[in-house]
Amino acid sequence: MASAIIAGLIDGGHKPTTINVSDPSVEQLTRLQQQFGVLTSTDNLQAVADADVVVLAVKPQVLAQVATDLAAALQPEALVISIAAGIDCRSLSAWLGQGTAIVRCMPNTPALVNLGASGLYANPQTTAAQKVQAEAILAAVGIVVWLTDEDQLHAVTAVSGSGPAYFFLFMEAMIEVGVAQGLAPDLARSLTLQTALGASTLASNSEEGPDVLRQRVTSPNGTTEQAILSFERDDTRAVVKRAMAACAQRSVTLSEELGAK
């Protein structure tokens, strides 16, 4: 995720030498340095020392340690943006310092192709100018929505944070079945991916909702009708509801398991 955000910032005209990337892996840093021309360090404290914005893009499992270590090195006026799933502002403040301006963000991997979708929530310590900064960083890789209730980030995770994986699963299944029905694998793949891109683009460009667009594909007594009836008989909406509930619930329990006690 961090690579995607760095790429978006640099594509958007951000000067590479104003970005300092820290990671334990020298190989990873060398790759980022060669690809983007950013400054690099294996020392998190050194990387944040002069930073006005710090993006925390580590796994939730290491966030407590990383954030606690950073506290002493942060500039008092720095904005901290965390993209970690689940971990709330209460925990981040406990680790970073109570006065820290924090924006929590839930991005997604289509940020890699500038088609990301991010939900953002700012704690009360965040100034209007810092909110503009946070929005500009995430807007470099896709659309941004602001949330007024931090708990909504669980739902954003279930919709867009994890959402790409649901569509990939659907694509995998369609490709497999296309092949089973007699198509060459490369044909099944390109037809599936173009259909996903076409459906998404059509829905994005249309004033009509997905329900109306679906009905347009579904000719009475035609082929689609049989597929949709089969999906409804299998209660696909309930399947989606259970999956997204499990996802949002995991976001809640990540916070309980890994948050500040």
Ligand X SMILES: O=C(O)[C@@H]1CCC=N1
Is residue 30 classed as helix, strand or coil in its secondary structure? helix
CB 258 within 8 A of CB 82: no
One-character DSSP codes across 63-111: HHHHHHHHGGGS-TT-EEEE--SS--HHHHHHHH-TT-EEEEEE--GGG
Any binding-site annotation on 145?
no
Residues 128-167 that bind ligand X (CB under 6 A): 157, 161-162
Contact with ligand NDP (CB under 6 A) among 32, 57, 74, 153: 57
Q: Would you count residue 247 as binding ligand NDP (CB under 6 A)?
A: no
The amino acid that residue 56 corresponds to is L
Check residue 251 for interaction with ligand NDP (CB under 6 A).
Answer: no
The two three-digit tokens of residue 207, written as one number: 């004033």
Among ligand NDP, ligand X, none, partner that 28 touches (CB below 5 to 8 angstroms by kind) = ligand NDP
Compute, in degrees rounded to 10, the torsion defined by CA atoms 217, 220, 222, 226. 90
**Is 47 annotated to bind ligand?**
no
Q: Are 172 and 158 in contact (CB under 8 A)?
A: no
- Other Cβ atoms less than 10 A from the Cβ of 245: the count is 11
Look-up of token digits 């360090």 = 41
Establish if 59 lies at the interface with ligand NDP (CB under 6 A). yes
CB of 23 to ligand NDP, least distance (A): 5
Q: Quick check: 107 binds ligand NDP (CB under 6 A)?
A: yes
**Per CB under 6 A, does 116 bind ligand X?**
no
Site for ligand NDP in 23-52 (CB under 6 A): 23-25, 28, 44
Output 155 or 188, the one with its CB closest to ligand NDP. 155
Can you tell me the distance from the alpha carbon of 166 to that of 30, in angstroms, rounded to the nearest whole number?
33
* DSSP type of residue 16: G
Find out whether 59 is annotated in a ligand binding site.
yes
Q: What angle do CA 193, 1, 87 make, to 5 degrees?
A: 120
Q: Rule CB under 6 A: say whether 83 interacts with ligand NDP.
A: yes
Query: 3-state DSSP call for residue 202?
Result: helix
Q: Give the amino acid at 80.
A: V
Using CB under 6 A as the binding rule, whether residue 85 contacts ligand X is answered as yes
Count CA within 13 A, CB hemisphere, residue 70: 32
- The answer to whether 20 contacts ligand NDP (rule: CB under 6 A) is no
In whole angstroms, how close is the CB of 51 to ligand NDP at the nearest point? 14
Instruction: Dig out the tokens for 214 from the structure.
Output: 């679906």
Among 22-30, 196-204, 207-215, 243-251, which window interacts with ligand NDP (CB under 6 A)? 22-30
| Span from 12-20, 83-91, 192-200, 204-212 in contact with ligand NDP (CB under 6 A) | 83-91
Instruction: Note the residues at the interface with ligand NDP (CB under 6 A).
Output: 1, 22-25, 28, 44, 57-60, 62, 66, 83-85, 106-109, 161
Instruction: Note the residues at the interface with ligand X (CB under 6 A).
Output: 85, 157, 161-162
- Annotation: binding site for NADPH: 44
- Annotation: binding site: 44, 57-60
